[in-house]
């Protein structure tokens, strides 16, 4: 509240007294009054507690004791709210570097892959960065980092062995056999890659009935 817009109003029975910071505190609290303020401040929840509060402007000390038959009332009149302060200076602007992305998803269906060779895929579902060579099925790392690779295989009337290769070394191998009922297999792995390293799938299909064998392979990878 404003320093010049409030006053302390005290009622002693039928007598009234008003104190403000412009008055002499000692004269206001004369010995004839023998003031010990039995005050009720109108707060949301008033209990039978005792409190003290010092007003530095007039150096007057309130001592509060709530009594059932108390007739002393103290109220403070709030002043006009002050104006908001000026806005602070804006902080420095920082441009977030946009890291290059790398991701692909490809599919093989309608034909059986050749063993010990990278699986060539017949359909490209996503390959915006062209990091996977579509005609060979080989992924070449152009952005170093951690890559997550996963594959899913649906098979029928055959046995399939799938290997995830990194530079001619097998890093993950999965097997599945399907006789009468369709089966599936999947695998996933996160690999740290450097620029120039290559990753691909190899699949070996064994079947006694090539005309009935069916294999569908999904292969995906992305930079984490």
pLDDT in tens, 157-178: 999 999 999 998 999 999 999 9
Instruction: Tell me how far the alpha carbon of residue 156 is from its chain's centroid.
Output: 44
Report pLDDT for 74. Answer: 52
Lowest model confidence (mean pLDDT) among 17-21, 123-127, 192-196: 17-21
- Domains of the chain by range and CATH? 8-76 (no CATH), 103-223 (2.60.120.40)
Mean pLDDT computed over 188-197: 98
**If you average pLDDT over every residue of the chain, what do you get?**
77
Percent of the chain with pLDDT over 70: 65
Task: Using a cut of 0.75, tell me whether the model's pTM lies above it.
Answer: no
pLDDT of residue 17 exceeding 90, the answer is no
Which residue would you say has higher pLDDT here, 45 or 187? 187
Q: Comparing C-alpha atoms, which of 170, 151, 164 is closest to residue 216? A: 151
């Amino acid at each position: 509240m404003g320093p010049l817009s409030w006053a302390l109003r005290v009622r002693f029975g039928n007598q009234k007294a008003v104190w403000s910071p412009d008055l002499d505190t000692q004269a206001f609290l004369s010995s004839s009054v023998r003031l010990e303020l039995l005050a009720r401040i109108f707060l949301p929840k008033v209990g039978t507690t005792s409190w003290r509060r010092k007003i530095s402007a007039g150096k007057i000390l309130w001592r509060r004791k709530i009594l059932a038959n108390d007739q002393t009332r103290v109220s403070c009149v709030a002043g006009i709210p002050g104006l908001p302060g000026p806005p602070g200076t804006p902080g420095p602007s920082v441009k977030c570097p946009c890291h290059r992305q790398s991701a692909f998803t490809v599919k093989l269906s309608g034909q059986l892959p050749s063993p010990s060779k990278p699986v060539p895929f017949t359909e490209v579902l996503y390959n915006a960065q062209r990091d996977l060579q579509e005609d060979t099925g080989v992924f070449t790392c152009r952005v170093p980092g951690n890559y997550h690779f996963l594959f899913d295989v649906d098979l029928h009337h055959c046995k399939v062995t799938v290997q995830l290769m990194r530079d001619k070394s097998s890093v993950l191998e999965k097997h599945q056999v399907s006789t009468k009922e369709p089966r599936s297999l999947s695998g996933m792995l996160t690999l740290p890659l450097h620029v120039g390293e290559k990753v691909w799938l190899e699949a070996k299909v064994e079947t006694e009935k090539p005309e009935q064998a069916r294999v569908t392979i999904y292969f995906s990878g992305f930079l984490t």
